[in-house]
Structure 1
Amino acid sequence: MNHRIDRRSLLRLAGVGALGLAAPSFLTACGTGGSSGDVSNAGKNLAPWPSYVPFSGPAPDAPGDVTGVQPLYLKYPEKLVQSVNNPVGDGSDVTVLVVSYGAPPKPVGENQYWQAINKALGVNLKVIVVPDPEYGQKMATLMASGEDLPDLIMFSNLALPHAAEFVQSRTADLSEFVGGDAVKEFPNLANIPTYAWKGMGRIGGKIHGIPLERPMPANSLFVNRSAMDAAGIPKDWTTEQYLDGMKELTGDNKWGVGWFKTLFGGLGGITYHAGSLGAPNTWSADGGKFSHTIATPEFEQAMEVMRKLVETGTHYPDSLTISSTDMQSHFYNGTVASMNDGFGSVNLSNLSKINGRFALDLGRPYGPKATPWQGAGVFGYVTFKKAESARIKLLLRVVDYLSAPFGTTEYELANYGVEGKHFTKDANGIKTTDLYSQENNSLLPTKYIGTAPAVLYLPGHGDVAKAVHEWQKASLPKSVRNPAVGLRSSTEASKGAQLGQIIGDGITAITFGRKPPSAWKDVVAQWRQAGGDQVAEELAKEHAANQ
């Protein structure tokens, strides 16, 4: 993925975005302020979540589990199965609007990947690819225009004002097609775990989209394991060992810690430290009452750890101004020994940037009562243009095909292209060709139309895959979910930026010594008065309705 510093990326990487204040949760996160239509779930008849029917695919080298540990594959399956046995399309055009984080795709007439996808689906995909920096404006224009909609619209995790009202009024209610056992007509959609559907959420009690699943871990601490092993820093560490280790790794124009620039001046590392020290994941919902993590002593302890990193000079000195792309480069070339990033950055593209300089690993939480923070379980969702039932089912078959799981012929085509053209196979499994770099499911983002539940498979990098699997087993069983995921607060939608600014500015001021730690109580009070308490009340009401 391209990591340009744009609004979406900043919200994802910033401490405040991870705290759920500047980036509300997908379908149900947008408020009702000033727009018609009651999108609340409170007092509504709730469509049942789709039944979960897991795919019984190839046996992994190490299994996943219900805590979110992913199945590990060290080699590519020798025998693939076919998950779609009936025709998908009818030869018609299917228009799709998706976001893109790379260059535009080659035209369909010159694009063998696109041609192969069209042939397999039995439709003519007409894909509107919107570059990430333009996505917010494009969606706002589309929602305000009243113009005819594409058949499929992908909503990313960018907080779009009044998106829920738009989705409810202009897109298809899919409840009768995928709610409960109805989803079994589309086996690959039934293979999407329940946490992804809940992460997407309902609108007015109905299901209006298909989630794009993502693994359970949230932003994670990427570490240079080779440097840490050389310095004698253990994998399982205490708070003191972590702080001492970062000092040990600093010197000779190298630093232990790399932080990203953020939109509101906060620091993305706060989520790792807060989870290490036992702070709730953004919100707690004890007894149905919502309380924010910023008001906990554990969160204050996390800021104190970050303040110590600044005091000892172990953080990269330009952390507040450097772009994410430059900081990633510093990590990949060994200038910084650790860096917070989204879990999805464990991928072949970034491993190629490391180019064997060091062993990549993820840092385990260091506190004795750690509560590592889980992600929402979704990257976004796909909505459907209103149509007759037969057309809706055709579109569902398209998304179902592209959501086929690892170990199927459909997954291989969707993710790697055509064997002999886009990839070959060797002892390590898949080996992509030069053509793949020009034609793939990132440049033509079919992975944002439908996607399989992710597995750990990194061909040629089995050591990294095993290390990540071990990290998941050590971290995820004690991880906690944000109870606000999939819920909505109109105050959060309208005032999220303001609330995030308050928190972000406060974190920065205290971390960098501009204000004493005692000033945090004033930050919390300001946040409450600016709308934080109202957000808590609204989330509690929605939470009760979704039980």
Structure 2
Amino acid sequence: MTVSSPIKRRTLLTLAGAGLLSGCGGGGGGRGDVSNAGKDLAPWPTHVPFPGPAPDAPGDDTGVQPLYLTYPQKLTRSVTDTVGDGSKVTAMVVTFGAPPRPVEANQLWQAVNKALNVDLDLIVVPDPEYGQKMTTLMAGTDDLPDIIMFTNLALPNALEFVQARCADLSAHLSGDAVKDYPNLANIPPYAWQGMGRVGGRIHGVPLERPKPANSLFVNRTVMDRAGIALDWNREQYIDAMKQLTGPRKWGVGWFKTLFTGLGGITYHAGSLGAPNGWAETGGAFTSTITTPQFTEALDVMSRLVAARTHFPDSLTASSTDLKAHFHNGAVASMNDGFGALNLQTLTSIGNRFELGLGRPYGAEPTPWQGPGLFGFVAFKKADDARIKLLLRVVNHLSAPFGTTEYELANYGVEGKHFTRDADGVKTLPLYDTENNSLLPIKYLGVAPSVLYLPGYPKQAQAAYDWQRAGLPKSVANPAVGLRSATEVARGAQLNQIIGDGIAAVVFGRRPLSSWPEVITQWKKAGGDRAAEELAKEKQATR
């Protein structure tokens, strides 16, 4: 294992934009045409759903996940052939926690290597350093890792890098070809489409995420004690945050992050009916930041700051630090990606409180859907035999719920990391230091997610009810998976303008009335051009 050396943390604020690959890209320079307009488009992989065990409550087309209150009594195998050939496979991934134990002292890592029949060598990079590490990798001429994980971080020249130096997987994954990798065929179409093509070709495998986007995580126990209802309007929400604030206690937990933006602007904008990133009307694209609903969201956030309900270090706190304050009960609510509703989070909270999800507070909310994936993995160019091996590795790690492969990737080795009884999986102490967050194999391949939280059926049911209440009203970003040369060239600059503007208004350094100046600056810097390019790309890929 390799862990990157510390570097200075970047503090870019980003707003959920036009999909991960377009958001990851930096363009310009004319080094490659990564748009899809005028190209022969590789067909998306054929979707072959895994039948799986019957859930306690079904999912649906709005994005509601199937609910499992108990663990399947009988598991199946999704991979019967040998995966690897005993060779070393290098992979660079992000981590949001402590580095894993080295392989010789890590029983989970050893078990994964055995199952894959490879020597998996992970280059594990802490999330504050990932942007710089990726920039250095893409600018260098050294040999690449076999597998490279991309997140939704805006990276200059990423699309050109993927097109020039990573394998074109179209022949292996387009149409029925994906059936050679059944677990990849099980990935839902929205994840592939959210990843998007590069120059008409498929260059990656998406890391699927459910449709809910950045969400409001709440301390349901303290809210119940205070008599705060599940449903609230705008003033009731603001009053609730005031009520939960006191000596060394704060109602609102915000943190500055490269991925989700300050204070979960997505939650507030979606509560008040703002479009998700962009709105498409009659083929024209309009940014959400230009809408009155978005301005209303900034006003709510400003009022929260003026009332001192927010965690005081919001402009400097890392996600790790803020989560610790939420988990120990000092902060009553925080925004995070829906994927953080997992066993690691619940284990960190322990018995302190019951975790819940906050519902939108607006009269006509438009909860924002995520792009359907956290990122994607790409492979360095190699001969067909090597590419097929790497696809088999990712296929194994993407095994669905209800399989033995999923069990290993998510819970470890029975008797060492977990045990089970009639109520389901029970994690053992070793799991706390050996899991797929600390050994981030879930960023190389991941199963389509279901709602199963072992030992926490009440929280799983509450999340299911929250999805049923909100997802039918939710909206997708129409720009997800599309290409804009301006966004890929100037995405970081455009996001910086928005992020700095949000921070200035919310924290009172500029009045709310100055927001149109931010919009004008963003438009002149390339926002208007990006809108035109997205409209053209949308038309070409219909």
TM-score of the superposed pair, with normalisation by structure 1: 0.91
Q: 1:33 to 1:337 in 2, by over 3 A?
A: same
1:356 counterpart = 2:337: no
Paired residues in the alignment total: 537
Write the distance in 1 (CA, Å) between the matches of 2:407 and 2:137.
Answer: 33
Work out which of the residue numbers 25, 37, 42 in structure 2 matches 1:42.
37
Work out which of the residue numbers 423, 433, 436 in structure 1 matches 2:418.
423
Counterpart of 1:188? 183
Which deviates the most, 167-176 or 503-512?
A: 503-512
Work out which of the residue numbers 391, 407, 413 in structure 2 matches 1:412.
407
CA RMSD between the two structures? 2.6
Counterpart of 1:20? 17
Write the distance in 1 (CA, Å) between the matches of 2:317 and 2:384.
Answer: 51
Counterpart of 1:204? 199
C-alpha contact 2:494 2:527 (8 A) present in aligned 1: yes
Counterpart of 2:150? 155
Encode CA deviations 1:252-280: one digit per residue, 9 max, x unaligned: 44332222245799732321111011000
Work out which of the residue numbers 437, 440, 464 in structure 2 matches 1:469.
464
Counterpart of 1:268? 263
Write the distance in 1 (CA, Å) between the matches of 2:7 and 2:209.
Answer: 21
Counterpart of 1:441? 436
Structure 1: any 5+ residue segments left out of the alignment? none
The AA in structure 1 aligned to 2:236 is Q
Q: CA deviation at 1:115?
A: 2.8
C-alpha contact 2:15 2:495 (8 A) present in aligned 1: no
Encode CA deviations 1:29-72: one digit per residue, 9 max, x unaligned: 41431152211111001111111111111111111112111111
Write the distance in 1 (CA, Å) between the matches of 2:475 and 2:113.
Answer: 41
Work out which of the residue numbers 54, 75, 81 in structure 1 matches 2:49.
54
Encode CA deviations 1:334-384: one digit per residue, 9 max, x unaligned: 333222122222122222332222221111011121100111111111112
Work out which of the residue numbers 276, 289, 294 in structure 1 matches 2:289.
294
Work out which of the residue numbers 219, 222, 229 in structure 1 matches 2:217.
222
Counterpart of 2:517? 522
Q: CA deviation at 1:6?
A: 9.3
Matches within 5 A, 1:200-349: 200-261=195-256, 267-349=262-344
Q: 1:26 to 1:446 in 2, by over 3 A?
A: same
1:175 counterpart = 2:167: no
The AA in structure 1 aligned to 2:430 is L
Counterpart of 2:3? none
Write the distance in 1 (CA, Å) between the matches of 2:104 and 2:328.
Answer: 39
C-alpha contact 2:23 2:487 (8 A) present in aligned 1: no
C-alpha contact 1:32 1:165 (8 A) present in aligned 2: yes
Write the distance in 2 (CA, Å) between the matches of 1:263 and 1:7.
Answer: 13
Write the distance in 2 (CA, Å) between the matches of 1:216 and 1:8.
Answer: 29
Q: 1:9 to 1:452 in 2, by over 3 A?
A: farther
Q: CA deviation at 1:122?
A: 2.7
Q: Percent identity?
A: 68
The AA in structure 2 aligned to 1:237 is W
Write the distance in 1 (CA, Å) between the matches of 2:144 and 2:68.
Answer: 40
Which deviates the most, 260-269 or 190-199?
A: 260-269
Q: CA deviation at 1:500?
A: 2.6
Structure 2: any 5+ residue segments left out of the alignment? 1-5
Q: CA deviation at 1:467?
A: 1.0
Q: 1:326 to 1:171 in 2, by over 3 A?
A: closer
Q: 1:126 to 1:257 in 2, by over 3 A?
A: closer
Write the distance in 2 (CA, Å) between the matches of 1:355 and 1:114.
Answer: 25
The AA in structure 2 aligned to 1:18 is L
Counterpart of 1:132? 127
Counterpart of 1:78? 73
Write the distance in 2 (CA, Å) between the matches of 1:128 and 1:512.
Answer: 38
C-alpha contact 1:288 1:540 (8 A) present in aligned 2: yes
C-alpha contact 1:27 1:202 (8 A) present in aligned 2: no
Work out which of the residue numbers 354, 363, 374 in structure 1 matches 2:369.
374
Encode CA deviations 1:57-102: one digit per residue, 9 max, x unaligned: 1111111112111111111111001111222223333333333334
Write the distance in 1 (CA, Å) between the matches of 2:7 and 2:53.
Answer: 39
C-alpha contact 1:8 1:158 (8 A) present in aligned 2: no
Q: 1:269 to 1:411 in 2, by over 3 A?
A: closer
Write the distance in 2 (CA, Å) between the matches of 1:42 and 1:425.
Answer: 52
1:143 counterpart = 2:142: no
Q: Determine helix, strand or coil for the equivalent of 1:290.
A: strand
Write the distance in 2 (CA, Å) between the matches of 1:247 and 1:113.
Answer: 44
Encode CA deviations 1:111-131: one digit per residue, 9 max, x unaligned: 332332222223333333334
Work out which of the residue numbers 467, 474, 480 in structure 2 matches 1:485.
480
Counterpart of 2:82? 87
Q: 1:445 to 1:513 in 2, by over 3 A?
A: closer
Which deviates the most, 84-93 or 460-469?
A: 84-93
